[in-house]
Copies of this chain bind each other. A is one copy, B any other.
């Protein structure tokens, strides 16, 4: 899962970045509206944390530009305390949620989780596909009820696939969402992790679609003859 933070205050921004990274997200940090807008317009994010009080370009403006460009990633807006008129304006400008400063980082994470879950169409914190069960809250994976130990990258990859169950996910899409920005595309790490996951969870969890990418299917969703 790839997150963009647009926050002009370096202390808070870096703290958020660290916290989110510890929670398994790939995080990019932007310190002003212009750069933030550019990042959000050109890169693929699963969610954006946007501070409204930015120098130069206002956060609301950035948000409006994104929405007019057709960018529809979930946006969590950070507002000053008690300015609920700002919040309403933000929501109407296309924000999906807001959080008043100061806030508990724990709450930020819970809200981000909910946002991402909602955006990808899953209501429960548990994702299932066949015998595989993934709890996004605790970060645990089980196979037929038996707990399975996954490494960080394996978990990220599986998690992204399960969030997009049934969809064909290209290699580049996976790379973009698992790693942040600069990463050597000419490497086969994705294949390697797919192999590892298959070893741990069974070869049939992840389907390869040659020339397009990978796909994780729930047999229950495909009543075929």
Contact = CB atoms under 8 A, between A and B. Distances in A.
Interface of A: 67-68, 72, 74, 84, 87-88, 91-97, 104, 106-107, 110-111, 113-114, 118-119, 121-125, 137-140, 146-147, 151-153, 155, 166-168, 209-212, 215, 222, 224-225
Nearest to A72: B123
Given A107-B88, A113-B92, A168 B147 contact: no
B139 A168 contact: yes
Contacts of A68: 124
Contacts of A211: 151-153
Given A139-B209, A225-B146, A91 B104 contact: no
A8 to B, nearest CB: 24
Nearest 10 CB-CB pairs, A to B? Answer: A152-B211, A139-B168, A91-B114, A88-B110, A138-B167, A94-B123, A91-B110, A72-B123, A67-B123, A67-B124
A7 to B, nearest CB: 21
A214 to B, nearest CB: 11
Given A74-B118, A92-B114, 7 more contacts: A72-B123, A88-B106, A88-B107, A96-B114, A139-B167, A140-B166, A152-B211
Contacts of A122: 121
Contacts of A125: 92-94
A210 B152 contact: yes
A222 B114 CA distance: 32
A146 B224 contact: yes
Contact of A114 (B95, B107, B110, B124): B95
